[in-house]
Structure 1
Amino acid sequence: MSETDLGLWGVPLAMLAGAIRVSTPFLFVSLGECLTERSGRINLGLEGTLVFGAMAGYAIAYETGSPWLGVLAAAVCGAGFGLAHGAMCSLARVNDIAIGIALMLLGMGLAFFFGKPYVQPVAPDLPSIPFGFWSDIPQLRAALDVNALFLVGVALALAMAWMFRATRIGLVIRATGDGAEAARALGVDPVRVRTLATAAGGALAGVGGAYLSLYYPGSWNEGISSGQGLMAVALVIFARWKPVNCLWAALLFGGAGALGPALQSVGVTGGYYLFYAAPYVLTLGLLIAASSPSRALAGAPAALGFNR
């Protein structure tokens, strides 16, 4: 076997690279939804936030020549959508899920409308860190090119886990997620906490969108998300509302998404398009498993009402 012909070893290498690349938007969106749900609110509008963040990040990066300004713009736009969601859900007789669906459609519609001029132009990509510099094998070097946002996401997952466990902010968010009465017992306004948590979760979803358009696949088009924002909600349930578990679950989803290209890289083309359905099949399977009566929604914040 030559240096450039890895044979079947190319499959795990391609899946390793794909798991890292494909998992990053899942990671940011799931961490954002984890933060939102731990405060006692559900945001199903993150698909629209993800798509709008991808468009805004790409547009600003193209106009300014800086991909990091694009990421910042995507985070600001995502926070705006989250703030709108939180503000509307704080009104009387307003349903979280209905508002989320409405904002999802709004975000996607606005992205498609404002993003049409940016389908053809090429924006600068986010940089990657070449952890495989030591190898002479091109495939290994490519597999170990890790985008900086993935490392930021890993650090953020660890920081959020520590925050929930060991800080007053984490205690306030967890108490708010257990119910308004628990939050008021700590002397905090549950509406404010949930609104800020939803805004922060939206900002993270926007960053996930910027990753899609500025690194992988690295372009803006109307079908860029493929439902990743909605799948991330299922991912949070599977992760039992724990940030570190969101990291492992995102890598699992990323590996499933990389299965098709990995098999194609070694010449497996039969049923090629079926392998692209792997993340959706995995989402369905995880939701069925999570709905088992013996362990249904263990760890869910009480204010979400899953256990009522």
Structure 2
Amino acid sequence: MAAEALGWWGVPLAVGAGAIRVSTPFLFVSLGEVVTETSGRINLGLEGTLVMGAMSGYAISFYTGSPWLGVLAAGIVGSLLGALHAGICSLPKVNDIAVGIALLLFGTGLAFFLGTPFVAPQAPNLPSIPLGFWSDVPQIQAALKVNVLFFIGVAAAPLLAWALRNTGVGLMIRMVGDNAEAARAMGYSPLTVRLWATCFGGFMAGVGGSFLSLYYPGSWSEGLSSGQGIIAVALVIFARWRPMYCLWASLLFGGAGALGPALQSVGISQGYYLFNAAPYVLTLVIMIIACSPDRTLAGAPGELSITK
């Protein structure tokens, strides 16, 4: 590893490179959930969507030989799970949070069941861009290989921020999320808007899942996600429902997730599992700090379930 070859100077490099890799699923899931929650619906089932996207993307890549078809398939499967969530939530007296938990269990269970044949076979993985071409050190070259999906996610953050503020579709989503009655008076259907917003959130979560199985770590197994879908939902609250904040928060969580392997590479193995728990500890600390009475739901859409 880069840190091992460069000594302690390699730790920041390893953490930075690891942050890019680890943050990519967080980024896609959180950006999709921003749109979903801006429309006034929360989807706690994204962990199941993430795992199902990872499995389906890996399976399609294995059968077709094209990892990009796997990414597309993962997004489509995620959209279908999003549509299922939206359809159930559109029924009278149905709670978004309860449905999300049920679909989390459904999605993970279905992925584990259908993905059993793909635990051993190796599917084609997504390519990376060699940003370390300037160096002759193999460890630096390996650390600075960045997948295209990360750049797509980085570009999507400002694009979504602009679209939500400056387009008719963005205005419609925000209006439905803030005041459904006002949206109906303007001729919009809140259920329809939330359906498409939830499908978009599911698509992004599915794509984030495909990154896990098709690039990092680049294989399919039942323990692939480690709760990243749930953490990403908490990340949206921390980011105050702003796409650009989701980008920075994802990098922060990604760096926390890369800290353990970076320190281990320079010989610090004591407390390794404690360092691996850094993303979960960070989630808890951030939620405690953010959960003051005057700041907890600052910027939250008025129709969101957690605001009522």
Q: Over residues 111-170 of structure 1, what are the superposed CA-to-partner deviations in whole Å (9 max), with x where a residue is unaligned?
A: 011100000000011010011111112222222211000000011111100101111111
Q: Over residues 204-261 of structure 1, what are the superposed CA-to-partner deviations in whole Å (9 max), with x where a residue is unaligned?
A: 0000000000000000000101000000011000000000100000000000000000
Structure 1 CA distance, aligned partners of 2:35 and 2:4? Answer: 44
User: Which letter does structure 2 place at the counterpart of 1:204?
Assistant: M
Q: After the TM superposition, which segments of 4 or more aligned residues of structure 1 sit over 4 Å from their partners? A: none
Partner-residue secondary structure (3-state), 1:221: coil
Deviation at 1:32, TM superposition (A): 1.1
> Is this contact kept in 2: 1:82–1:202, CA < 8 A?
yes
Structure 1 CA distance, aligned partners of 2:50 and 2:305? Answer: 26
Partner-residue secondary structure (3-state), 1:23: helix
> Is this contact kept in 1: 2:53–2:206, CA < 8 A?
yes
> Is this contact kept in 2: 1:4–1:137, CA < 8 A?
no
User: Which letter does structure 2 place at the counterpart of 1:134?
Assistant: W
TM-score by length of 1: 0.97
**Alignment CA distance shift 1:17-1:189 (3 Å):** same
Deviation at 1:4, TM superposition (A): 7.8
User: Which letter does structure 2 place at the counterpart of 1:191?
Assistant: L
> Is this contact kept in 1: 2:235–2:246, CA < 8 A?
yes
**Alignment CA distance shift 1:223-1:185 (3 Å):** same
User: Which letter does structure 1 place at the counterpart of 2:194?
Assistant: R
The equivalent residue for 1:189 is 189
Structure 1 position 5 matched with structure 2 position 1: no
The 5-angstrom pairing of residues 9-48 of structure 1 reads 9-48=9-48
Structure 2 CA distance, aligned partners of 1:281 and 1:9? Answer: 25
**Alignment CA distance shift 1:119-1:4 (3 Å):** closer
Corresponding pairs, count: 307
User: Which letter does structure 1 place at the counterpart of 2:280?
Assistant: Y
The 5-angstrom pairing of residues 229-240 of structure 1 reads 229-240=229-240
The equivalent residue for 2:124 is 124
Deviation at 1:294, TM superposition (A): 3.0
Deviation at 1:292, TM superposition (A): 1.1
Structure 1 CA distance, aligned partners of 2:129 and 2:182? Answer: 44
Pick which of 133-142 and 157-166 moved more.
Answer: 133-142
The equivalent residue for 1:100 is 100
The equivalent residue for 1:165 is 165
Structure 1 position 204 matched with structure 2 position 225: no
Partner-residue secondary structure (3-state), 2:230: helix
> Is this contact kept in 2: 1:75–1:203, CA < 8 A?
yes
> Is this contact kept in 1: 2:263–2:269, CA < 8 A?
yes
Structure 1 position 151 matched with structure 2 position 151: yes
Structure 1 position 264 matched with structure 2 position 270: no
> Is this contact kept in 2: 1:48–1:107, CA < 8 A?
yes
Unmatched segments (≥5 aa) in structure 1? none
TM-score by length of 2: 0.97
User: Which letter does structure 2 place at the counterpart of 1:165?
Assistant: R
Structure 2 CA distance, aligned partners of 1:68 and 1:126? Answer: 7
> Is this contact kept in 2: 1:4–1:138, CA < 8 A?
no
The equivalent residue for 1:64 is 64
The equivalent residue for 2:292 is 292
Partner-residue secondary structure (3-state), 2:129: strand
Q: Over residues 26-60 of structure 1, what are the superposed CA-to-partner deviations in whole Å (9 max), with x where a residue is unaligned?
A: 00011111110000000000000000000000000
Structure 2 CA distance, aligned partners of 1:101 and 1:184? Answer: 29
Partner-residue secondary structure (3-state), 2:192: helix
> Is this contact kept in 1: 2:235–2:250, CA < 8 A?
yes
User: Which letter does structure 2 place at the counterpart of 1:79?
Assistant: S
Structure 1 CA distance, aligned partners of 2:291 and 2:282? Answer: 14
The equivalent residue for 1:220 is 220
Q: Give the fraction of aligned pairs with identical amino acids, expressed as a percent.
A: 68
Partner-residue secondary structure (3-state), 1:26: helix
Structure 1 CA distance, aligned partners of 2:4 and 2:297? Answer: 47
User: Which letter does structure 2 place at the counterpart of 1:7?
Assistant: G
User: Which letter does structure 2 place at the counterpart of 1:130?
Assistant: P
Structure 2 CA distance, aligned partners of 1:48 and 1:3? Answer: 34
The equivalent residue for 1:281 is 281
> Is this contact kept in 2: 1:65–1:123, CA < 8 A?
yes
User: Which letter does structure 1 place at the counterpart of 2:63?
Assistant: E
Structure 1 CA distance, aligned partners of 2:89 and 2:67? Answer: 33
CA RMSD of aligned residues (A): 1.4
Pick which of 86-95 and 298-307 moved more.
Answer: 298-307
> Is this contact kept in 2: 1:44–1:97, CA < 8 A?
yes
Deviation at 1:182, TM superposition (A): 2.3
User: Which letter does structure 1 place at the counterpart of 2:95?
Assistant: N
**Alignment CA distance shift 1:276-1:206 (3 Å):** same
User: Which letter does structure 1 place at the counterpart of 2:250?
Assistant: A
